[in-house]
Structures are given as C-alpha cells and as structure tokens.
Amino acid sequence: MKHANPVWKFFCSVKLTIVLLLSLAATSIIGTLIPQNQNPQAYVNAFGPFKYQLFNTLGIFDMYHSWWFQGLLLLLTVNIVCCSVDRLKSSWKLIFNRRPTVRADRFIRHPDARTRNDKRSPADLTRIYEPMLARRYRTVKVFQSDDATVVYGEKGRLSRLGVYIVHLSVILLLLGGLVGSLFGFEGFVNIAEGEATDTIRLRSTGQLHRLDFQIRCDDFQLTLYENGAPKEYRSALTILEGGKAIKQKDIIVNDPLRYRGINIFQSSYGKLPPQNMPRSPSPSPGPAESYSLSFTSKTSGMSYTVMANLGNPVEIPEGMGKFVIMSYEPDAEFRGMDVGEALKGILTPPDGSPVEVLLPLKFANFDKMRGGDVIISVAKPADEASASPKPAAQRYYTGLQVTRDPGVWLVYSGFVLIIAGCFVTFYLSHQQVGIVIQALSKNSRVTVAGISNRNKLAMKNAIDKLYADMAER
C-alpha cells in the first residue's frame, strides 16, 4: 500500500530494519568484548584515563542500560509495528472478507487442474460434490455464473496471520527488554544473621536503592564437602512491612524468594567477627571458608591483604587481575613433593590466560617461584581453627542478589507467541479448492484445482485424492 507521508515511509522501510538489526548486533558484540559493570579502576588500568572518560560518557560500560541502546530498541519496535500495519492492510480484506469473489477461470487455468467429462447434469453433480467437499473444508459455498457452477471450499484463512503473530512476539520481546531496562533494577546486599535492611546497592551505578519493605536474615546454615568447599548455603529470610512479618522462606542458590515482583536470590556469604553469643556448631566441620590473602605487586612493591571466600573471585589491587580460591587440599603435592595443607586457586591477569596457583599454608613465599607481576601468599585462615567445628560465637552474613524486572511477563508472552506464530506460519496454510462444472451439449465438464499460499505439494496431493474420490461417485 502506497503512502505519501515521508515519515510513514521512513518507519515502514525494510532498509531501516536492516540498519537497526546490524547496529544492535554490532553494539552487542562490543558489549561482549568489553566487560560490563566492572570496577572503574579496572577500566582505567585497561584503557587509560582519556578512553575511560570517553567510554563512560557514551555508556559503553553499562551499554544495555544506556539511552542510545534503549533508543535503538524503541526505534526497532516502532519500525516493526509500522511494517506490520502497512502489510496487514493489504491482507485484511483477504483474511476477513465474508463475501469472497470466486472466478471459475482461476481454477480452470491452474497448471495442476484435473478435468473429466460426466454424463450427469451440473445440478446433479453439484448435489453430489458439495457434501463431499464439506467433509474436507470448513467453508463450502456454491457460486453460479452464466457458463459454470463452482463448488468452492476453503480453510486456513487465519494462517495468513502467522507472520503477524511472529511480528507481535518480537514487539513484546523488545518492549519487555525496554520496560525491564527502564523500570527494573539489579542490586546486592549483605545482611548479618538476626539483622534486617531495606536498602540495596545497585549493580549498574553503585548507588543505594531503598525498597518498600525490609529483608531480615533469621538464620544462615552452611554445609561443606569433605575438601572444605561449600556444598550448600541456606538463608532463612523474612519480609517485614511496618515491623510485621509478611512472608518467610528458606532460600538456596537458584531457589529465590519472590515478593511483589522482586526476586531475592542467594548469592554469596561470609563470616563476621565473633561475638559472645551461643550458636550451634556447624553441620559439617572442615577447613576455613575464608582466608586472608596477601598480594604483592612486583611493579610497585606494595603488599595488599584481601579477605577471600572459597569459590568467590576477588579483585587484586592495582588492576592486577582476579583471583579465586577453588579448593582446599589437606595433603597437596608439588612435582611429587608433599607440601602439606594448601589452597588451589585460579589467577586471571588483566591481559592474559588463567593460571592455576598452588598456595601451601606452611610456605608463605612459595608463589615467588611462579613468576608474574603479583606474588600471592596465605597470611592465615580467617578461622584459625580451620579443621574444627565452627566456634559458638561465630556469625555469618548472607549475600543476596535482589532484582526486579517488570517486563519479564512481556518477554514470556513473546516467547509463547513466537512459538505459536512459527507453528502457524510453517505448518498451516490457506487452502482454496474449486470444483468447476460446465454444461456441454450432451454432458458436463468437471474441473477441480486447488490453490495454497504454502506447502503446495500437500495441496497437489489433496487434489489428486479428491479427484480420485470424485471419479468413483
């Protein structure tokens, strides 16, 4: 359909769709190559102060929440809506026309038409073929013209809407992403046992965000494997409003507490300084879950002490990379030599491949032999009685990930619609069949043909079967 409005033509342009898709693909590649929402110091060390300021101004470090990325999504949404409306106008009359016009020559001239002569009159043949076609097609009508009678059967008109269902699903996916980006959030909070808070720190900006309710950690339970690695950590949480308990649940990893559209996930944990308060022993004795690590920079000569939990990566100062303690080894070996208790970890330099590091607890300078820009050593376990049950006064804090995504139901609806739309588009078709009966001098000529917008081979097979059944009547 032609439109004189240049603005409408712009938004209906397929070229615009291609440009937007390529732009989103290119920016997504950039967002994959440049880590998002990292420590600013890490970006300064990687790109330098000037590039850091430039990229930060452009929103490269939090690209998926930047105004220009959201603008691209919004523009693509408008483009798809306009293209769909523009093309639907031309299909609307065909799909919802209650008085279709049927021409006999459309079926007579079809390349796959089947023709035969019959001694019976057109009226008798019409009475035979109309119920036969009605058993196969939802809509059957008889059209009369001066020189022919057409018994017309049709089904699957709505299947032409399949492509528009797919378009709608894409629109819902884009809108869901926009709504989640504009009105949702993702943050983190650490809550000590027995304490409550209504404030989290947003991951994207680092700013504090106040919730409409409080989260209280009633209890924290930790279970360890035999090698000291965490097996399961469980937090007993209570939602408070106006000082009253509204909802309670024990959460573990991948089993969050959901309340008023907000998801609270178990993310991490840590130890607090001991206090003189009774507490039951740990359910599974083992080595310490936290260690005090010393990082010495060969460039500056400075040493830094950082607390690290098993399995949780820590940032090394001066942008020297990341380090994570993977496991505790009670009887570690190095090149066939017994070095006793040791930690095994992974060091990831800023511009290098991950390196496995062995840190014997008894040999503080062991890592000097490895080389590299940083020397790592174990100062001492955070819990000096690492192989003993948890002290009675030991307290933990739970690390929670708190998220809200109001667009998630739009995204889910989009996924459902895209499956339905693809099924309709690829597996259903609009089929039209015409049996044309023409009166001759002494007999009647019968022509049957079928027209389908897709899966034409199946249509041809259906006409062959119909023609064989007609010959038997």
* CATH number of domain containing 204: 2.60.98
| Residue 24 belongs to some domain of the structure | yes
Show Cβ contacts of residue 292 under 8 Å, excluding neighbours closer than 6 positions.
305, 306, 307, 308, 378, 379, 380, 381, 382
Confidence of residue 31 (pLDDT cuts 50, 70, 90): confident
Kindly report the pTM of this predicted structure: 0.63
Residues 397 and 268 in one domain: yes
180 and 194, same domain (yes or no): no
Residue 322 corresponds to which tokens in the numbers above? 């990341």
Is 49 a domain residue? yes
Say if residue 320's pLDDT is above 90.
no
Residues 397 and 264 in one domain: yes
The domain in which residue 54 lies consists of 6-94
How many domains does the chain divide into?
5
Of 49, 69, 94, the residue that ends a domain is 94
**Domain final position from 74, 94, 114:** 94
On whether residue 99 sits in a domain, the answer given is: no
Check which CATH number belongs to the domain holding 443 and give it. Answer: 3.30.310.80
How high is the mean pLDDT of the chain? 85
101 lies in some domain: no
Same domain, 33 and 65: yes
198 and 251 together in one domain: yes
Task: Identify the H or E element spanning 189.
Answer: strand 185-192
Q: Give the mean model confidence (pLDDT) for residues 356-380.
A: 83
Per residue in 430-444, pLDDT (tens digit) is 999 999 999 998 899
Mean pLDDT to the nearest integer, 295-310: 81
* Sign of the dihedral defined by the CA atoms of residues 130, 453, 117, 444, in that order: positive
388-411: average pLDDT = 78
Q: How confident is the model at residue 286 (pLDDT cuts 50, 70, 90)?
A: very low
Model confidence at 46, pLDDT cuts 50, 70, 90, reads: confident
Task: Tell me which of 459 and 298 has the higher pLDDT.
Answer: 459
- Residue 110 forms part of a structural domain: yes
310 shares a domain with 274:
no
Write the pLDDT tens digit of every residue in 62-76: 888 888 999 999 999
| 278/195 same-domain check | yes
Mean pLDDT of 308-336: 83
pLDDT at 382 over 50: no
Share of the chain above pLDDT 90, in %: 43
Question: For the residues 210-227, what does the mean pLDDT come to?
Answer: 88
* In-domain check, residue 300: yes
Same domain, yes or no: 46 and 85: yes
pLDDT in tens, 135-193: 999 899 999 988 899 999 999 999 999 999 999 999 999 999 899 888 999 999 999 99
Residue 273: per-residue pLDDT: 66
Helix (H) or strand (E) holding 452: strand 444-452
Residues 197, 128 share a domain: no
Residue 100 inside a domain? The answer is no
pLDDT for residue 424 is more than 90: yes
Q: pLDDT band at residue 390, thresholds of 50, 70 and 90?
A: very low
Residues 301 and 339 in one domain: yes
Least confident of 9-23, 166-180, 222-236: 222-236
Residues 80 and 18 in one domain: yes
pLDDT given at position 280: 38
- Whether 412 is in a domain gets the answer yes
In the sheet that 395-404 helps form, which strands lie side by side, from edge to edge? 244-251, 230-241, 208-224, 196-202, 185-192, 395-404, 262-272, 257-259
Phi, psi of 108 (to 5 degrees): -65, -40
User: Residues with Cβ < 8 Å from 7, sequence gap 6 or more?
Assistant: none
| 295: DSSP letter | E
Indicate whether 201 and 245 sit together in one domain.
Answer: yes
Q: What pLDDT was estimated at residue 274?
A: 60
